[in-house]
Chains A and B, each alone.
Chain A
Amino acid sequence: MPINVKTAGFATTIQDLGRPGYYHLGIPMGGAMDRFAMRCANMLVGNDEGAAGLECVFMGPELEFTQDSIVAVTGGDLPPKLDGEVLDSWSAIEVKAGQVLSFDFLRSGARAYIAVAGGIDTPTALGSRSTYPIGALGGVDGRAIQPGDVLPVGKPASAAKAGAHIPENMRRLPGKIAELRVLPGLYWHRITEKSGTRFFDETWKVASEADRMGYRFKGGTPLEFVDREPPFGAGSDPSNITDACYPYGSVQVPSGSEPIILHRDAVSGGGYFMIGTVISADMDLIGQLQPNVETQFVKVDMDTALAARRERANSLNKVREHLS
């Protein structure tokens, strides 16, 4: 028995943990921007952590349930309401057939994740239900949800029961000033040492162009380039390279002015140089940044990146233990 979409929110998309394996053809892995939150939402309702749910940006949808169900809302602080009554997020909530799940205003963060026991059961494309609108893949007809859509739900696991809760100290969200750890590399040698130091010293702000493809930052000093003779095929701008692959999380700076961090729906390549890459442990946090949030890029080495990765994995393990 499906869920009826009454209103869709701003850009609410069906997401799971993505479709790795096609980046060499320009099809990004996609999937939830904040995977920690997506996994937690699924755990709360007894799903596989990779089941499909809804990713809401800034505002939530209104969803009418046509059968009894268990839902959970995690991620940014977008308080869920059931028939108008505000409920706890990061909790397994019981929903009765006919009830409407809606949302209060966003208090913090940028994206909330809605998991439903059984998972959203739209058809898969290249092994995933994640919505990739540019390539018209996944989701509902390859697009964000719309009013009038009917979302099929899979069979709930027997473990699904209301009441489970993930306390605040087990969650993972960015601080007031967001810190994103960056491993310098790629084309780092193209900027002067002074400029590189300043990039990490200055505080940047999230710009308005911030979506699943990439997050742009503003407010810092433009980068200074090391002089060069443009290589054949690169283009004349000092920020141009012979078109190459872009790592997920890579920080490109077109014309040296505003850094862009590529995220889950990244373009797979292009002709702009990159000065480094946000470490895997901090990718989730980017999904929770609103425009104008102050951001500090922190320079780290590989050992720190790997330690942070283990720490994130441990945080998830603690949630798993807590809920089992």
Chain B
Amino acid sequence: MTSRYTFGGDEHIFVEVSEEMSLEAFFTTLSMTNAVRDAKIDGITEICPANASFQIKFDPDVIHPDTLMARLKEMETTASLAEPVLTTRIIEIPVLYQDPWTHETLMRFRERHQDPGATDIEYAARINGYDSVEDFIAAHSGSPWFVSMVGFVSGLPFLYQMVDRDRQIQVPKYLRPRTDTPKLTVGYGGCFSCIYSVRGAGGYQMFGVTPMPIYDPEQKTGYLKDFMVFFKPGDIVKWKPIDRAEYDRCIAAVEANTYEPRIREVVFSLEDFNKDIDGTNARLEEMLNAD
């Protein structure tokens, strides 16, 4: 994998690790951004990893753009030798699929959709070859997902499905973006799932909502006391389909500030994963469900 380096004006260097998305590209992105962070280079002000690329913001009054570019290129070799093993956490995220709030919203924006006669999830199920929405939900929630980027707006995670490429769900974005998306919508665009951290514009298909807040600028939510953003790149997520009664129980717990997400620490090895995807995923799920 050879990265492409380019300047974003006089204050950014943009590195495209790969044009296409893959777990290998994401791991290279993580190890390169970790290497840059560890190198503590004077003048670097922001290090932003993305799915298959990353961006460094710097102060050209402190370090010349060409000097920094040369240093980053030197690091690529070292970073590519890093063992693709990650100590991270797996988190269970409850999802009420086909909820009333995203349904109301998607009905308002039907004229911006490829298939105005179907709902977003019916459309996604059909074009991905699933016989029913239930089968599609089983596939979406059946394997774990990697948080491969956090961004767009406040704390929004992009999630990449941990299955063979031929089993990966792919759905185009809306023809024209909506001006509204309910907060905590579980969305889908391209090969990525996402959770809208705040209400606002959006172009991803809407499948459901989670009752679990992932961004709290007031930091009142118990598990967001230390920091207002829940996700970081490298987190692993397992969706848990829930019904309306369970959703209402979760909301009540969130409001009482007693909601505790299920989180377990795990070690993920990309090599082990590539050797046995289903086996690795089953072990991850076991660790998530262990007490």
A residues within 8 Å of B by Cβ?
A: 20-21, 23-27, 125, 134-137, 142, 183, 185-186, 188, 231-236, 240-245, 247-250, 267-271, 274, 276-280, 302, 305-306, 309, 313
The number of residue pairs between A and B whose CB atoms lie closer than 8 Å in the complex comes to 176
Among the listed A231, A240, A250, A269, which residue makes an inter-chain contact with B152, where contact means beta carbons less than 8 Å apart?
A269
Chief secondary structure at chain A's binding surface: mixed
Q: Residues of A contacting B172 with CB < 8 Å?
A: 235-236
> Do residues A234 and B20 form an inter-chain contact, with CB atoms below 8 A?
yes
CB distance from B32 to the nearest CB of A (A): 13
Among the listed A137, A268, A302, which residue makes an inter-chain contact with B65, where contact means beta carbons less than 8 Å apart?
A302
> Do residues A245 and B6 form an inter-chain contact, with CB atoms below 8 A?
no
> Do residues B21 and A26 form an inter-chain contact, with CB atoms below 8 A?
no
Q: Residues of B contacting A248 with CB < 8 Å?
A: 9, 11-12, 57
Instruction: Tell me the count of chain B residues lying within 8 A, CB to CB, of chain A.
Output: 53
Residues facing A in B68-90 (CB within 8 A) are: none
> Do residues A26 and B11 form an inter-chain contact, with CB atoms below 8 A?
no
Q: List 28 A-B contacts (CB under 8 A).
A: A20-B57, A23-B57, A26-B229, A27-B155, A27-B229, A136-B198, A185-B7, A185-B8, A231-B19, A231-B20, A235-B190, A242-B20, A243-B152, A243-B192, A245-B14, A245-B48, A247-B11, A247-B12, A247-B57, A248-B57, A249-B8, A269-B50, A271-B190, A278-B9, A280-B10, A306-B60, A309-B10, A313-B61
> Do residues A24 and B49 form an inter-chain contact, with CB atoms below 8 A?
yes
> Do residues A243 and B149 form an inter-chain contact, with CB atoms below 8 A?
yes
Q: Residues of B contacting A24 with CB < 8 Å?
A: 46-49, 150-151
Residue B53 is within 8 A (CB to CB) of chain A in the complex: yes
Q: Residues of A contacting B7 with CB < 8 Å?
A: 183, 185, 277, 302
Bound CA–CA A136/B19 (angstroms)? 34
> Do residues B9 and A305 form an inter-chain contact, with CB atoms below 8 A?
yes
> Do residues A268 and B151 form an inter-chain contact, with CB atoms below 8 A?
yes
> Do residues B20 and A250 form an inter-chain contact, with CB atoms below 8 A?
no
Residue B217 is within 8 A (CB to CB) of chain A in the complex: yes
Residue B156 is within 8 A (CB to CB) of chain A in the complex: yes
Residues facing A in B24-80 (CB within 8 A) are: 45-55, 57, 60-61, 65-66
- Inter-chain pairs besides A235-B190, A245-B54, A249-B8, 14 sampled, C-beta below 8 Å: A24-B46, A24-B151, A25-B150, A25-B155, A27-B155, A135-B215, A137-B154, A231-B21, A234-B20, A234-B21, A242-B53, A247-B11, A306-B65, A309-B10
Among the listed A183, A233, A250, A277, which residue makes an inter-chain contact with B191, where contact means beta carbons less than 8 Å apart?
A233
> Do residues A21 and B46 form an inter-chain contact, with CB atoms below 8 A?
yes
Bound CA–CA A21/B9 (angstroms)? 19
> Do residues B229 and A25 form an inter-chain contact, with CB atoms below 8 A?
yes
Among the listed B8, B47, B153, B189, which residue makes an inter-chain contact with A26, where contact means beta carbons less than 8 Å apart?
B153
Residue B22 is within 8 A (CB to CB) of chain A in the complex: yes
Bound CA–CA A231/B66 (angstroms)? 29
Task: Given A26-B154, A268-B152, answer yes or no on A142-B217 (Cβ-Cβ < 8 Å).
Answer: yes
Among the listed A137, A247, A302, which residue makes an inter-chain contact with B14, where contact means beta carbons less than 8 Å apart?
A247
Bound CA–CA A236/B127 (angstroms)? 14
Closest B residue to A182 by beta carbon equals: B9
Task: Given A135-B153, A245-B55, answer yes or no on A306-B10 (Cβ-Cβ < 8 Å).
Answer: yes
> Do residues B45 and A25 form an inter-chain contact, with CB atoms below 8 A?
no
Bound CA–CA A271/B9 (angstroms)? 19
Residue B116 is within 8 A (CB to CB) of chain A in the complex: no
Residue B240 is within 8 A (CB to CB) of chain A in the complex: no
CB distance from B152 to the nearest CB of A (A): 5
